[in-house]
Structure 1
Amino acid sequence: MSDLSFFHEPRSVAVIGASSDPEKIGGRPIKYMLERGFTGRLYPINPSRDRIQGIQAYPDLDSLDEAPDVAIIAVSGASAVAQVVRCAEVGVKGCVIMASGFGETGDAQGLAWQSEMLDAAARSGMRIVGPNSQGLADFASGSILSFSTLFTEQPPQDGSIAIVSQSGALCSVPYGLLREAGLGVRYAHATGNDIDVTAAELAVEVLKDPEVRLLLLYLEGISDLEPLAEVARVALEADVPVVALKGGRSEAGQKAAASHTGALATEEAVVDVFLEKHGIWRARSTGDLVAAAPLYLRRERPRGDEIAIVSNSGAICVLAADAAGEEGLPLTVLSAETRADLTAALPSFASVENPIDVTAALLTDSSLFGKVLPILGRDGGVDACVVGIPVAGKGYDVERFARDVAAFEADTDIPVVMVVPQSSIARVFRERGILVFPDEAQAIRGLAQYLRHHALIERARARRVDPGGRAHPDGPAVTLNEAESLDLLERIGVPTVGRVLVGSSDEVPAALERLESERLVVKGCSSAITHKSELGLVRVNVDRDDVVRTTEEMIAILDGEGVATDGVIIAEMVKGRHEGMLGARHDPVFGPVVMVGAGGIYVESMPDVRLLLPPFSFEEAKAAIGELRIAAVLGGVRGAPAVDVDAWAEAAVRLGEAMLDPALGIRELDVNPLMLLEAVDGRGGAVAVDGVVVRSAAAAS
């Protein structure tokens, strides 16, 4: 990634297509920079004007005494292409192209124009933001290379939050919400088509600013993994939380993203795992993107996720406790000392258990919050507080409430969120920098995000994070038959069922001597058939005396299907307490992906899976298994014994290592079922009884 600082502090900016009308696209950047005190040189370019918005205008770039650091391209179509080419020729460092109608349309002409601009930029080393870009804004330096109308509707205020978005609207909307909440924004960057400078590159650039304490990202596609991994790495080093909103979670959303920016939509479950592994919180809506912003700006970091709830309403206490349960936030079990102190501070009829209902006594005793919160602050089990005031107004000393809450936050490292539905009352708290939500569900969700995100960040710091993006195995692929697949699984360290491959019924007696089980499984083997049970090619619980006949039947079925026959597998009968599965594949963007999940015949119709990105640890694999719905029964229920989850996790780790080995050339792999055996003294095993592997032909040979 090259230095992009000239976009933030350019010594000079040319606006090509400059307008005297400050409300037009070619006029707004000039207006904003004049208003924000931009100290560099401004060059409006317009052949039909001598002066624009009070400053000298120029007919073209060649009329300037210098090559500007940055050029804003506010003309469209072929004119935009010609101006970009000329910018590259005269030595401009970077262009911001606001025009649309290029690669995002899928039109051949638009794609050809993009290529022409990129070629010109590559020859000179010029960098391009856009096209189809709303522009970049640095409110600290006054470099407003943007035409966003929100900067007029919500006047800028410098702050510690950076927004980088592939969409103009999803840059403006978070900006507007943050400013409406009274929060300052330092950077508001909307990149557009990302044909050269990417949102990830700009994110790394803003993270170099030591004043940035929160980065908000909006992504419509991820076509190159390493820049986003670099964002995460730099953010972790700078101790800056990153919250990302990515469009395209649904099939319709993926199509819309492609038509908007031409972005590559990737499998959303893999995106989730990648972001989580790198300590990036994935928001699910614009509201979620900004909801917890004030909490992130705190200098102190949360110490845990146990919360205390305080309100003058019993109903709010109940509803907030319900919301906490749904979000998985535990309520602190208050110490005996804390409860004794609360008993002394509160009316006799108030609750001193968590949630704490101070009752309507708050109306006559305005000191109650000021008494209760410090007591909770001294309880080492309280990591955060939720304070609810459903009704207030005349007769309530709201100013004192706000003063006491603000003092508590200032004196402790414990974050507080308020539940205040009345806008006039909420304003009093917001003016003191306290985060306020209109209802308990939103308050708990915002607090949960903040607390869980910091736990995510600490896990990302602790693990060895691989940048990912491994190259997909090249060349043609071959599908191994089941015998070959099981052999490869055994080779990479995944336990497999005892088995023998025979070519005819004459080989059965020798095979039976090598197998100990009294009951056996007999399966036809052919790389041309993956769903054998549908053709009657799987027989289970076969008596040893019936194996010869069953083998002959398998060969007859294979011959009847007209497929290449690789033989018949005779395997020991393994019955697990539960059935799991393992899978793996190469994602075109994220590289190798490993899947753990519930196995059996319903794996496709009722999927219960979690994904892992290699390399991952045994602990991470076990945690992923623990998140499955089936996990509730793996430890044993109603007298049933537990299964060996550790063996499953170990097999997943071995598979992850194998997917990173280019010599193996594994493209896809499926183990279903993986028999999970009863754990005796903690161990029992996990055994693959069926498997399909697709490898690169070069590796297979």
Structure 2
Amino acid sequence: MTRADRLKRMLNPACVAWFGGAGLAPAIGYMQANGFAGEAVVVNPRRAEIAGLTCVPCVGDLRRAPDLAILVIPKEAVLETVRALSERGCGGVVCITSGFSESADGTARQAELVAAAGEMPVIGPNCPGIANFLDGNAFMMDHFGNHAPGRNVAARGAADGGVAVKDVAVRGVAVISNGGAYLSDLGCADRAQPIAYLIGLGNQAMVSIADMLDAVLDDNRVTAVNVYFEGIGDVQKLSQAAAKAARNGIPVVAIKGGRSAAGARAAQSHTASLSGDAAVASALFRRFGWIEVTTPTEAIETVKMLSFTAIPKGARTGFITSSGSYAVLGGDIAEQAGLQMVAPTAAAAAALDLVLPTYVGPANPLDISDAHGWAQADQLPIYRAFAQDQHDLFVQVMCYPPEGGWDMSTWDATTGALAATKGDRPAAFVNTLAEALPRAARDRMIANAMAPLQGIEDGLRAVAHAARYGARRDMLDPDAMLLPAPRCPQPGGTGNSMSEAAAKSWLSEAGLDVPRHWIVDGPDTLADIACTCAVKALVPGLLHKTEAGAVALTVAPRDLPATIRAMAGRLAAQGLNPDGFLIEEMIQNPVGELLVGIRHVPDIGLTLTLAIGGIAVELMQDTATLILPAPRADIAAALKGLKLAPLLLGYRGRPAADLAVMLSAIETLCACVADHPDIAELEVNPLLLTQSRAVIADAVLTLKG
């Protein structure tokens, strides 16, 4: 039986064994409230029953090997229990107990846990539990919302047509997270979110996010997957799951915690999962074709947009509202999010002029003003006229009154008019306030294949996310998502940086363009140099030469001796003793500079970072990061996406760098690092660009320790 098969058995068990004491009662009650119909028993040597379930003293007294065991017992008892369950043939364990690698003294204990489990998968430790609401299976140590089959309005695709809510097939979103708070937010929010699975993995000692993603993607009732990462690992298996999601047409919404320094520290102490660099995580998500969000509420609204209506094919948006303020403010937010609102065509404008109130003109966003108060039949001509244009989707922006407030019939008439005229195109209703959209209104919208979104910013971003995903979904290449396993360092790495001279010599042998250069011990050993030069002191371990006064540029040949003496004096005053001096021919008339950084990221592999080079790179914060290997087209797109890229490509008549030469140099640098697993990082800053050359003006090459 494969790991995925065993995980599926755990997610839909026929027999469950709980291990713990009286504190299990709320969790058992939650299991029962969500409809679990299989066999359940408690293992406790001192009690006869807990929460109505019969207790047995130990694993050996279980009538049969359970499909799933949930451990809520002292950490000292976990290893023996896991070993006994593995020997008994248990399907798998959810270890809610903490005190393992997330604690200072728990790393060895977690390794012993893995060894005791053998081939039996263990979810956790230090996890909140798992739930498969589609089949009535909820095994969690807290309340994560009421999602029993049939209790909530179910998700559906466009093919479901206009069926009543009760007839919609049960479907929903799989949410996978390191910890429980994120699951609780998504599970307990009152936003009509369609939850199929909630899966908390804790420390991921044996079962990773990639493992669970692979398992839930085989369930055709899953409309989308939302993953919350604190740490990213197992990248090869994660890339395989990403390719599977792309092949199955299942969108994945990703959110990465630990992006700030404070968040990274909290993530490490919380789940013992080291947080990766934020730019690398974003690059990984782009490589996989995933939708990246930044908050739980943005995630909720995005999965609703992906589940309740057809996925848009593009971003051309028909925007309708009943307020001039929402037309202006909402239009700003929508455009900033990436939605495109094209003015009505002449034919649509003429048709709208005939049916709109006289004081309202045809536009997009369209403000229907007081027509919002008309009966639905009277509004239909407005919506038909507006809908005749080639919109990819419709978005309706208003704010329902709270329940018990004004009569909602006029709002219902307006949303009903859009539902009746949109055809098979996707549509979303965006309530400007998150908390004020009544459940009954949401249910009606879902029954009419409209996504009921809550909060104007989260809602419009969710629509834009779905539009971008829909536009590129058919172009996703699952094979291009597959990544090699990260390589281990080869023996012999020193963990030190090569000197600039040694690094350039190595790069020159690889076929890269470096300046003509000379290495001297001091001013008395100068060769016969006839060109304008740059002078750099070769000081072991000194990476930022400029700040130390170890660089001089545009030095005439006659000034070389004095420049070297002055530089040696400055460095001696700082206690620095150069091994020598690198003299390089200055490259004349460069068009611009580029930073190229290639580094090995633990658990992920090689990454490529590009930026406009020189000392301005840290000020501009204008970078692009890719996961390697990357095709030439992706590197070119990343370059052209930099804000200052036009300065390199011929902005307003300026000379342009040779893009093909630039790309060839970047590809060669990537290949050099890929072919040498002992390299931890290579940074070229700057790569000097002329109209015909790409010259390595400075390079730092660091070996793995």
Partner of 1:284: 294
Please say if residues 129 and 197 of structure 1, whose CA atoms lie closer than 8 Å, have aligned partners that are also in contact. yes
CA distance in 2, matches of 1:457, 1:344: 39
CA distance in 1, matches of 2:202, 2:657: 51
CA distance in 1, matches of 2:361, 2:294: 36
Aligned residue pairs total 673
Please say if residues 240 and 482 of structure 2, whose CA atoms lie closer than 8 Å, have aligned partners that are also in contact. no
CA distance in 2, matches of 1:425, 1:70: 38
TM-score, length basis structure 2: 0.86
Q: Deviations over 1:136-170 (max 9, x none)?
A: 11123333222322346999655321111111121
Q: Provide the aligned C-alpha RMSD in A.
A: 3.3
Amino acid at match of 1:674: L
Matches within 5 A, 1:4-403: 4-17=7-20, 19=22, 24=23, 26-106=24-104, 108=105, 110-122=106-118, 125-151=119-145, 157=152, 159-177=171-189, 180-298=190-308, 300-364=310-374, 366-367=376-377, 369-380=379-390, 382-390=391-399, 393-394=406-407, 397-403=410-416
**Consecutive aligned runs of 4 or more in structure 1 exceeding 6 Å deviation:** 503-507, 551-562
CA distance in 1, matches of 2:554, 2:485: 44
Partner of 1:615: 629
Report SS of the residue matched to 2:477: helix
Could you tell which deviates more after superposition, 59-68 or 533-542? 533-542
Q: Deviations over 1:592-622 (max 9, x none)?
A: 1221112222434554322121111232223
Could you tell which deviates more after superposition, 316-325 or 38-47? 38-47
Task: After TM superposition, give the deviation of residue 276 of structure 1 in Å.
Answer: 1.4
CA distance in 2, matches of 1:338, 1:351: 12
Name the CA shift for 1:440/1:133 in 2 (closer, same or farther; >3 Å).
Answer: closer
CA distance in 1, matches of 2:198, 2:541: 55
Please say if residues 479 and 695 of structure 1, whose CA atoms lie closer than 8 Å, have aligned partners that are also in contact. yes
Please say if residues 674 and 688 of structure 1, whose CA atoms lie closer than 8 Å, have aligned partners that are also in contact. yes
Partner of 2:167: none
Name the CA shift for 1:674/1:367 in 2 (closer, same or farther; >3 Å).
Answer: farther
CA distance in 2, matches of 1:35, 1:528: 63
Task: After TM superposition, give the deviation of residue 261 of structure 1 in Å.
Answer: 1.3
Amino acid at match of 1:282: E
CA distance in 1, matches of 2:606, 2:408: 63
Q: Deviations over 1:71-117 (max 9, x none)?
A: 121222323333223222322221112222332222x2x44433332
Does 1:406 pair with 2:389? Answer: no
Partner of 2:685: 672
Please say if residues 502 and 570 of structure 1, whose CA atoms lie closer than 8 Å, have aligned partners that are also in contact. no
Report SS of the residue matched to 2:695: strand
Q: In structure 1, which of residues 427, 442, 453 is the aligned counterpart of residue 458 of structure 2?
A: 442
Task: After TM superposition, give the deviation of residue 348 of structure 1 in Å.
Answer: 4.0
CA distance in 1, matches of 2:310, 2:560: 69
CA distance in 2, matches of 1:368, 1:636: 56
Report SS of the residue matched to 2:360: coil
Amino acid at match of 2:87: E
TM-score, length basis structure 1: 0.86
Please say if residues 178 and 229 of structure 2, whose CA atoms lie closer than 8 Å, have aligned partners that are also in contact. yes
Q: Deviations over 1:617-663 (max 9, x none)?
A: 23222322233332354455565444445543443333223222137
Report SS of the residue matched to 2:135: coil
Amino acid at match of 1:444: L
Please say if residues 519 and 543 of structure 1, whose CA atoms lie closer than 8 Å, have aligned partners that are also in contact. yes
Q: Deviations over 1:27-60 (max 9, x none)?
A: 2444344444434322222334444444543222
Report SS of the residue matched to 1:582: strand
Please say if residues 496 and 688 of structure 1, whose CA atoms lie closer than 8 Å, have aligned partners that are also in contact. yes
Q: Deviations over 1:281-315 (max 9, x none)?
A: 22211111111222211563321112222222222
Q: In structure 1, which of residues 586, 589, 593 is the aligned counterpart of residue 600 of structure 2?
A: 586
Report SS of the residue matched to 1:279: coil
Could you tell which deviates more after superposition, 181-190 or 255-264? 181-190
CA distance in 2, matches of 1:293, 1:149: 21
Please say if residues 114 and 195 of structure 1, whose CA atoms lie closer than 8 Å, have aligned partners that are also in contact. yes
Amino acid at match of 2:94: V
Q: In structure 2, which of residues 499, 505, 510 is the aligned counterpart of residue 481 of structure 1?
A: 499
Task: After TM superposition, give the deviation of residue 364 of structure 1 in Å.
Answer: 4.1
Partner of 1:515: none
CA distance in 2, matches of 1:656, 1:301: 37
CA distance in 2, matches of 1:384, 1:670: 45
Name the CA shift for 1:500/1:465 in 2 (closer, same or farther; >3 Å).
Answer: farther
Amino acid at match of 2:20: G
